[in-house]
Structure 1
């Protein structure tokens, strides 16, 4: 029961931060600076997150759920509750954070509480490498797309 509550707490935290990350640029592009984001736009972001978890989320569930470290209900609760607290604190301060990064850090933390050998180093390093590549990769892609738009439609 506690883990169901902590999973719901993480989902709530996820909505408080990641939906805002997803729809924020769209809302600003529509001229929404300084105005309240409409609920329909937030709902659209929520629908997108649900579609993502239903279609591709199972792979991430496998990695976070059992490939990093062995999770029991108690360990899962501790990781989820900790992650939700961090995400909600960041959200209340208006700081965009990655739910994935925070939750993976919490899962690694409960693994490390059992000792270094309890964490799959190969999986953890692969995740860290993906984080190091995705930030500059996303920046490079957005620069490329904007350049393409400038050339094609003269923005």
Structure 2
């Protein structure tokens, strides 16, 4: 929104609306994108405050959101096709993909790593400066070199595991990818959930953002503990049944797209990211087979996503006015 600053009352309306819609969706087995609900609710509260629409920003975000299912679906489908192709050895395809993930991990920005003229750095950047690799061909070339070395080491470890036992190696690769995706999801979801509270913590409470991050971390921990079992069942069985290889094909695009969104500063929901990847990987099995994609479940989910964003804006707008009318809350 333009021309306004989110107030504590507006933040309350935003988060209460988003939390309610997400809880309803989870209870029904439909993953509701937090990015959709929080963004829609924030716009509704901002309009209620008298703010204007940031049309250019909305256009960029919507364009990114619309591109996600297409890009992820194509990537997941292509990777699943590659991994399921019996003419391509698992000891070649899986280490190659693991190396790419390792390179990406080496270059993602982490807040606890220092960097010159920046608040955060990457593993490759820190190693480059620590060992003066930048002198080889400049800082950028050094970071690419170190990232490539880390990628090769990752590929080598996975290759060694596969040579010992293919099934065990694939399963360990899958678990490692799941942890990477959960790590990325935590950064994205905590940022979305606590974003409306930033001004409240800094101006009204005088607390540093570290407290806000701790609050978000605890919230996502307890939320995963108490609310995730129903969604685990829905994602694992009701959209498409994926074996280990197709699960790998689903995880990799989800990780890459989410990292791209974080770099660009666009709100993104991991619900949408993962469902898009699962559908793309599941299509390799054929929609008519028992392990194909459920068109009905997918259709209802897309409808729920649209309703959550539009409805979130309307509910948040009305809720703000209701709260503002209460004595002592205006």
TM-score, reference length from structure 2: 0.44
Match of 1:17 in 2: 188
Runs of 4+ in 1 over 6 A off after TM superposition: none
Q: In structure 1, how many angstroms separate the alpha carbons of the residues matched to 2:216 and 2:257?
A: 21
Deviation, 1:113, is 2.4
Match of 1:43 in 2: 214
Q: Does 1:139 align with 2:313?
A: yes
Q: In structure 2, how many angstroms separate the alpha carbons of the residues matched to 1:124 and 1:80?
A: 18
Match of 2:324 among 146, 150, 155: 150
Cα distance per residue 1:63-114 (max 9 Å; x no partner):
1112111111111121112101101110011111001101000000101122
- SS state of the match for residue 30, structure 1? helix
> Do 1:16 and 1:88's aligned partners in 2 also have CA atoms closer than 8 Å?
no
Q: In structure 2, how many angstroms separate the alpha carbons of the residues matched to 1:141 and 1:28?
A: 22
> Do 2:247 and 2:278's aligned partners in 1 also have CA atoms closer than 8 Å?
yes
Q: In structure 1, how many angstroms separate the alpha carbons of the residues matched to 2:280 and 2:214?
A: 33
Match of 2:251 in 1: 80
Task: Choose between structure 1 and 2 for higher RCO, CA contacts under 8 A separated by at least 6 residues.
Answer: 2
Match of 1:59 in 2: 230
Name stretches of at least 5 consecutive residues in structure 1 with no aligned partner.
none
Q: Does 1:91 align with 2:301?
A: no
Q: In structure 2, how many angstroms separate the alpha carbons of the residues matched to 1:100 and 1:61?
A: 11
- SS state of the match for residue 39, structure 1? helix
Aligned runs of 1:104-143 on 2, under 5 Å?
104-117=275-288, 118-143=292-317
TM-score, reference length from structure 1: 0.90
Name stretches of at least 5 consecutive residues in structure 2 with no aligned partner.
1-171
Deviation, 1:154, is 5.3
> Do 1:17 and 1:91's aligned partners in 2 also have CA atoms closer than 8 Å?
yes
Cα distance per residue 1:30-76 (max 9 Å; x no partner):
346xxxx6222112111111111111111111111121111111111
- SS state of the match for residue 142, structure 1? helix
RMSD over aligned Cα atoms:
1.5
- Point out the structure with max Rg over C-alpha: 2
- SS state of the match for residue 285, structure 2? coil
